[in-house]
Structure 1
């Protein structure tokens, strides 16, 4: 059983700390440690295998790859060869050097089908290698340079052989298509990951008659969910398809907006959708009109309550003159008591 040792610096990497969500960290660790990975970070990895290994839907995997490729720019995926290049893998996966490590790197480089992936990793690692204090990083860099040089020489030699063979061919049989054959089909030898790639743009419905618009709507719904609530777990896949069929994308977007505004989960949006359905609301315009009506009704009820609320009379003590009146009365009573006391004393003396 092979082992993968990951440098703890993965957890202190600024890019990881500042940008990665928990799902992103999980996915990156999977790319660094899955059974097919290599020390150089370039290896074949079909989408179906990723989905099976980490328990996500294929659509969620597509979104993750798109984010890591286009946003984070730390992987490159070749849909044609189904190879992935984890551009920063060498920063975390090799902790010591030596002849065995060198031989391993050379074997892994030789097994890569897409030469451009090797160059992508090489260019990405140049800055790291220039500041690294690990002696064996220079050895790794040298191995990459030798492999890239070897492949370029082989490519040039093959191109020259083809040109010579074409020059010696019977010119009578050459037509315009000969010139077209010398043009590269793609200026880049690999095609980076794209949602439109037919290999992975699978149907989102079991129905063979589902329209392309329905597929696009479901892709948009997946992206909407993941942007606001996180990765779509496989168990929710069928629920989202059912919601899209029952309510339509426009109403779902409006319900999600209200759920996010109240800091609630997708289940809250589903509750809104069910409430609209019971009320016969089928369009976005009806949903917005219902919201306006609800707010107006709430405002009217509040105004009525405020009007009907009895106004309490202010207590006497709140009146500024109340204290003075009370003091005068008290003085009068005190004076009467004093006079009575004096009269009583005078009577006692007599």
Structure 2
């Protein structure tokens, strides 16, 4: 994925954007610049990821998706968790062969066939050349069109190669082409650097061996996190849940979410974070010293010895003489008053 997306400064003067609330503007920008975006404007974006990255809860995410769907700006397909920015290619189309090659690669990964059809329709609407696009599900689209009576006998995206394309200006097009080249180079570097020691199914096998039979929704969540952080990180989170005597996917997922929020993406970073956490916990504990090493003042020792001195028994005859003296003293004191 590209590390950045360009947003034109005219975005803020757009009539539609001017009417949006601050919450809507923020969400609209997020849809155009998040890490899952593609050159074709169709990409997979689970609502869980939206919650994590925007800070909105599920209710707010659903509300904003419905709102922008009503505005006609996006389409969200729940079964495949894919989103289509309807007018994305209007402002981001490049006729460069390298960009077209990237779009072809992205279209092959789109699961929702209807989005492919809409993409082609939009290309034709804006006058873009599509003869150099390799369209997935071409046969299925053709059959649908024949059943609906639309352009029978031909697929609607098969037009002559002299369809006009939009000239975005040499400098803009060259800059975007360089951006695509940088993106492809980064993808190549990532593939070379990340040779996973385990396959994407090893985490599921680990779960079944240590937690029990995996449910479909857990396996789906696990695969999404494997895509984001890698197989080893997911297994490490499950190991920690076992070590802490909390063997559940929910606890392991909370660890993974914490890593994702902190930008932790490698085992080394996770271990360093754990060491720092343990040090902080140790610093919070009171530092009790061994009592044998405590310094006790002399006056405290003397008082303790005095208090611990055993009481002596009193001789009855001596006590009787003492009582008589006290009575005599009392009578004398009373007479003097």
**TM-score where L is the length of structure 2:** 0.39
**TM-score where L is the length of structure 1:** 0.37
**Which structure carries more helix by proportion?**
1
Q: Which has the higher contact order (CA 8 A, sep 6+)?
A: 1
